[in-house]
Amino acid sequence: QVQLVESGGGLAQPGGSLRLACAASGFTFSSAVMSWYRQAPGRERELVARTLASGSTNYPDSVKGRFTISRDNAKNTVYLQMNSLKAEDTSVYYCNAVLHLARIYEYWGQGTQVTVSS
């Protein structure tokens, strides 16, 4: 059974930092493309960061230079370090896993709330 369990969300002040973690189980983590998405009320879900099985990463311009995604294949965990947080980063953050096998498998975590406010 595949599980993605996010943790680390909460309240941060503008300019502050938070670190999210996503613990994965039930699939070959090292082969998966792991991503973080976010969705604010009334808005579409958007990609925040992605790391390929190779370890390469990519980010949208909105978070580039502020957010860092990393993975620990030994712990089956992907992280999102968020620095210089802004009010517009307030969202529910979701962990996503994609496996390219005989077909594509995609899994989502339950989400964790991040609120940036003074």
- Per the DSSP assignment, residues forming a β-bridge with 61 are none
CA angle 108/36/30 to nearest 5° reads 75
Rg, the chain, Cα only: 14
pLDDT in tens, the chain (118 residues): 999 999 999 999 999 999 999 999 999 999 999 999 999 999 999 999 999 999 999 999 999 999 999 999 999 999 999 999 999 999 999 999 999 989 999 999 999 999 999 9
The secondary structure of the chain, three-state, reads CCEEEEECCEEECCCCCEEEEEEEECCCHHHCEEEEEEECCCCCCEEEEEECCCCCEECCCCCCCCEEEEEECCCCEEEEEECCCCHHHCEEEEEEEEEECCCEEEEECCCEEEEECC
**DSSP secondary structure, 87-105, as one string:** GGG-EEEEEEEEEESSSEE
**From CA 4, how far away is CA 36, in angstroms rounded?**
11
Residue 77 has what pLDDT? 98
